[in-house]
Structures are given as structure tokens and as C-alpha cells.
Amino acid sequence: GEHADAVLVGGHRRSALVPELARHLVVAPHRVDLFVGTIRSNIALRHGGEDDGRRGGAVGSGTVGGGTVGGGTVEVDDDVITASAVAEIVEHLPDGLDHVVQEGGRNLSGGQRQRIALARALHADPDVLVLHEPTSAVDAVTEWEIAQAVREMRTRRSGQATLIVSSSPPFLATADRVVHLPAHGEPRSGTHAELRAGSPTYRTAVDR
């Protein structure tokens, strides 16, 4: 009604929630979009002289326009490269982080593209990070390493939250709380271990 905007949520008027959240939220969708540039510029969303990608909004949900990478060298933290396992990619490339990425990342494997997209999201360092199946194309051993490293990195600074939409056992096992939304029946929440022990439906959904 006409008084709806008088309701405060977390001290904010409802009409201000979306733009307010956008400044603190990064959503990294399952689909990975990489542009022509370097691995470094794709991580920092720097293309044709654009600014560094530390800002809220969708990460990797669209392709940046043509042009050459500009604006000087982009600094990417070693922690980001390590946590996303991009380090394992660049150590085998002569140009390292400055390896050229073709349009859409077609000269990279699906797992490599996912790691770069994850590094992009971590580099943004938002207060709230949403990841959607960030490692579905990554091998099992690396997936465990990434899940543990992402948790360590995202819990280092107080006030940050990470929401992961996934059926990945490594990410579920490192989560503080898991919410299972089955196709039929009531949602359940708990730790990964608690849900595995008490819900056959959950076990079926996540066991590989």
C-alpha cells in the first residue's frame, strides 16, 4: 500500500534495498563469459582501459566489448590466484597471467574457464558473494582444495557472507549451514554431515 515504503528492513527503506545491496553484492552465475584479453584482465574485469572490477553487481554475466587491454598492469592478489587454483593454470603458461584469452575463452578448457571466473568473483571481494556451481567442470581433488581455500579466504574478514548454490560435496562440507530444497517435501537445514545422516533425499542429491 501507500505506507509500504515506511517499513524498514535492517534500518533501510524497502525502496532503497536493491541499490544498497548492489553496492555490496556480487553474483557469479554458472555460465562463464570471458572476453578477449589476458587471464589477468579477465580476473580484474579490465578491458579497453576499463576500471578494476572491485564493485557490486553481476560478475561474468555478460561480455565486455571489443578493444585492447589498457590502463597498465592490473594487480591481482596471490591469495585469489591460489584459492581459485588459477595458479595451476598459469604455472604452465609462458606468459603466466598475461596469457591471451580468446573470445569466450575458447582456447581454455571448461575447468580453466571456471577457475578464472571464480578468481574474478574473489578478486571483487564483496561483502556478499553468491556462487552458482563454481567448480562443476573441475576435477575432484582440485575441487576440494578450492572449497577449503575459498572458505579460508572468505572467513578471514568479519562481516562477509558467501552463498553457494551447489550440490558439490566439498563446498557443502565446508559450509557453516546447508539448506536443502527438495523438489518434493519440506526444506531442511543443518550441516552437510547432519543432512547426510538424517535425509536419504539429501544423500541421493549430493553423493557422487
Q: How far apart are CA 119 and CA 33, in angstroms?
A: 13
- Domain 28-159: top CATH class: alpha beta
The mean of the pLDDT values for the chain is 84
Residue 145: name the closest of 85, 91, 207, 87 by CA: 85
Amino acid type, 200: P
Query: 33-64: b or e for each residue (b if 16 or more CB lie within 10 Å)?
Result: bbbbbbbbbbbbbbbbebebbeebeebbeeeb
Contact between residue 185 and residue 201 where contact means Cβ atoms under 8 Å apart: yes
Contact between residue 55 and residue 125 where contact means Cβ atoms under 8 Å apart: no
For residue 23, what pLDDT is reported?
76
Residue ranges of domains in the chain: 28-159
Where is pLDDT greater, at 49 or 165?
165
Residue 90: name the closest of 53, 36, 134, 43 by CA: 43
pLDDT digits (tens, 9 = 90+) for 116-172: 999 999 999 999 999 999 999 999 999 999 999 999 999 998 889 999 999 999 999
Q: What are the cell numbers at 134?
A: 563454481
Q: How far apart are CA 180 and CA 199, in angstroms?
A: 10
Where is pLDDT greater, at 127 or 59?
127
Instruction: Please determine, for residue 11, whether its predicted confidence score (pLDDT) is greater than 70.
Output: no
User: What are the angstrom distances between the C-alpha of 90 and each of 87, 94, 144, 159?
Assistant: 5, 8, 20, 32
Total Cβ atoms within 10 A of residue 158 = 5
The H or E element spanning position 193 is: helix 192-198
